[in-house]
Amino acid sequence: MRISVIGATLGVGLALTNQARAAGHAVTAVGRSLPASLSPDLIHVQGTIEDPEVARRAVEGADAVAWCAGGHGFGPAFLKRVDWISRGTTSLIDAMRAEGVRRLAVVTGIGAGDSWGHGGALYDRLLLPLAVGALYADKDRQEAIVRASDLDWTIVRPGFLIDEPPRRRYGVHTDLTGLVAGPISRSDVADCLLRCLVDGEWLRETILICDSRTMA
């Protein structure tokens, strides 16, 4: 299948691109800047997904789309507003509808929506509101836009991202009662995304994933 990866050059997006290619899938790599070192066997789409033409090219010919972008816009929500994530998501969904692409997996994070309060005291009370509050306010808007769409979506909220090889033994949670999220490798997030996109798991569900060794 062909998978379009929004935010393909860093972090989870890069891990997903590599894993999808290793599994024999074709990949459209989408990013604001695409390094020359990116593999020539990928379809490259450079630009911001907020641009409708970039969004159209990003999903053209795709069977499924993964949103992995979200790394800039830090600061407390009461001092600044971030809206590029929600605006880009709207542009992407419009393009998917126009091109007849239905499967979408979106990476947000611990602290988005009803996962607020499940990151531990330091994160919930200090780091989230003061360091990434503006970013996560827009991730909240993004999640609402995705849920309101008529697409076959899954929202994936990772715990705290680390760089380790994939273990593929992470916990997947829809009920957050009593849960304090732990770390998860970017490689395992990519593995989860492939399961969503290729196998159709967790259709129209919002899941939190973290390393099963560290769950409270």
| pLDDT of res. 74 | 52
Residues of the chain with pLDDT > 90: what percent? 72
pLDDT of residue 94: 98
Please state the pTM of the whole predicted model: 0.92
- Whole-number pLDDT of residue 82: 86
Give the residue with greater pLDDT, 106 vs 125: 106
Q: Looking at domain 2-71+82-109+138-211, what is its CATH homologous superfamily?
A: NAD(P)-binding Rossmann-like Domain (3.40.50.720)
Q: Is the model more confident about 36 or about 192?
A: 192
69-97 pLDDT, tens digit each: 987 655 565 456 789 999 999 999 999 99
> Who contacts 172 (Cβ-Cβ below 8 Å, separation ≥6)?
192, 202, 207, 208, 209
Domain ranges of the chain: 2-71+82-109+138-211
Phi-psi group of 32: left, alpha or beta (phi > 0 → left; psi -120 to 50 → alpha; rest → beta)? alpha
Three-state SS for 134? helix
Q: Which of 118-127, 146-155, 170-179 shows the highest mean pLDDT?
A: 146-155
- Dihedral of the CA atoms 72, 127, 159, 91 (nearest 10)? -30
Helix/strand/coil for 1: coil
- Determine the average pLDDT of the residues in 149-154: 98
Q: What is the pLDDT of residue 79?
A: 57
Over residues 190-212, mean pLDDT? 95
Span of 4-13, 68-77, 89-98, 125-134 with lowest mean pLDDT: 68-77
Whether 164 contacts 187, CB under 8 Å: yes
